[in-house]
Amino acid sequence: MKPKVSAKDVARHVGVSVATVSNVINNVNKKVSEETRQRVLKAIEELHYQPDFTARSLAKGKSNLLGVLLPITQAGDDESLLLKDNPFYAELLSGIEFEAGQRGYDVIITGIRPEQSLKDWVRKRNMDGVIFLGITPEPFLNELKALHIPVVLMDSHPKQGDCHSIGHDDFLAGKLACQYLMARGHQVIGFLSGGIQTSPVNLKRYEGYQEALKEAGLTSRPNLVLEDSVSFEGGYRMGLRIAQEYEKSRKGESVTALFCAADIVAFGAIKALREKRIKVPEEISVVGFDNLKTCDYLIPGLTTVDQGIYHKGVLAAGILVDDIEGKLEACRHIQLPVRIVERDSVCPPREK
């Protein structure tokens, strides 16, 4: 176990002080003569010196660590990261990691666990900033603000206060999806999502969906607006209920299309419909939301609302680092554009 080489070793090797070594590393090129600078650099190379971030963190009060907070499965379960159940988080995390790496930061992840104080997690590692994925519990957020650490909220209500937020115009997106369906002749359109009142994102999408119907002189049917958990299983359960509605409805009055506020929900719903022998898209068309890679895997491919997940992750990390490094004046509230990605889960309605 050879002891790791420290700045002191480098200093001794060159015949200068540790301060000089430190200056070479930090002060881009001020304060140190070009000659000694080169000698120090050479020694660093030769000795394979690598500054210790732990010590540096302590001295500078800056860790170059970005905390990413991931939602976990609802209680009752084994309490694992939702990361494993919804590809959405993996894509996002991937984008975050990429940008963070580019800018010299490391990413550390954890689940948003209720019992444990999140603030402590952030404090004990002196994290420079954190990114919340998914819904952020209000109390945690307040804890964080007290720490005066840059925070980026993904997909939450824009008005969450003095943190950055990045999402999209969910109202518009919901409207867009619904209009897409109507443009293809659908009039009876169901809406499937997670809790509408508990999630501003779902609410906005719901309102957009409602608005689109209204503008077209249509109304939504309460029994076609379903809420359950944002998961495959939730989607499956809702799909089953839709299947029931479909079966018992009369000719010309049945659902012909579904707008699901998350791809993962659409996956579950489609599975349920198909098990009930209802054809997608021939009998019921489906539009999802997210544009996960998985949409391509399904047959038929899922037509959905793209929100550039990966890029969103990149952006989030970028903003966070910008703020950390003092390059930002005020809080940024970004609304990313969305667009419909057409695949094969939508077709014109057919008489029952």
Q: Using CB under 7 A as the criterion, which residues of the chain lie in contact with DNA when the complex forms?
A: 3-4, 6-8, 15-20, 22-23, 25-26, 30-33, 35-37, 49-52, 55-56, 58-61
With CA atoms as reference, report the closest residue to 258 among 294, 292, 220. 220
Tokens 């480098």 appear where?
Answer: 10
Question: What are φ and ψ of residue 221, in 5° steps?
Answer: -100, 125
Query: Minimum Å distance from CB 82 to DNA?
Result: 32
Query: Minimum Å distance from CB 311 to a copy of itself?
Result: 10
- Residue 194: CB partners within 8 Å, gap ≥ 6? 202, 227, 228, 229, 230, 234, 261, 262, 265
Distances in whole angstroms, Cα of residue 276 to Cα of each of 176, 186, 232, 291: 29, 21, 16, 25
Query: Minimum Å distance from CB 61 to DNA?
Result: 7
Question: What are φ and ψ of residue 308, in 5° steps?
Answer: 50, 60
User: Which CB, 83 or 196, lies closer to a copy of itself?
Assistant: 83
User: Which CB, 269 or 305, lies closer to a copy of itself?
Assistant: 269
Q: Rule CB under 8 A: say whether 52 interacts with a copy of itself.
A: yes
User: Which CB, 61 or 217, lies closer to a copy of itself?
Assistant: 61
User: Which CB, 216 or 299, lies closer to a copy of itself?
Assistant: 299
Q: Rule CB under 8 A: say whether 279 interacts with a copy of itself.
A: no
Give the whole-angstrom CA distance, residue 331 versus residue 320.
10
User: Which CB, 89 or 209, lies closer to a copy of itself?
Assistant: 89
Q: Rule CB under 8 A: say whether 348 interacts with a copy of itself.
A: no
Q: Which does 259 bind (CB under 5 to 8 A by kind): a copy of itself, DNA, none?
A: none
Q: Which does 32 bind (CB under 5 to 8 A by kind): DNA, a copy of itself, none?
A: DNA
Q: Rule CB under 8 A: say whether 258 interacts with a copy of itself.
A: no
Distances in whole angstroms, Cα of residue 124 to Cα of each of 114, 148, 245: 17, 15, 53
The C-alpha angle with vertex 218 and arms to 216 and 224, in degrees rounded to 5, equals 130
CB atoms under 10 Å from CB of 251, counted, come to 7
Query: Minimum Å distance from CB 24 to a copy of itself?
Result: 17
Would you state the torsion angle of the CA atoms of residues 201, 205, 208, 210, taken in this order, to the nearest 10 degrees? -120
Q: Kindly tell me which residue out of 148, 248, 250, 251 binds a copy of itself, with binding defined by CB under 8 A.
A: 148
- Helical segments of the chain, H only: 7-14, 18-26, 34-47, 53-60, 87-102, 118-124, 138-145, 170-183, 200-215, 232-248, 263-275, 294-297, 309-324
* Interface stretch with a copy of itself, choices 27-35, 119-127, 204-212, 333-341 (CB under 8 A): 119-127
21: which 2 tokens? Answer: 């070594």
Binding positions for a copy of itself, rule: CB under 8 A? 1, 4, 50-55, 57-58, 63, 65, 78-81, 83-85, 87, 89-91, 93-95, 97-98, 101, 106-111, 113, 120-121, 123-126, 148, 232, 267-268, 270-271, 274, 293-294, 296-299, 310
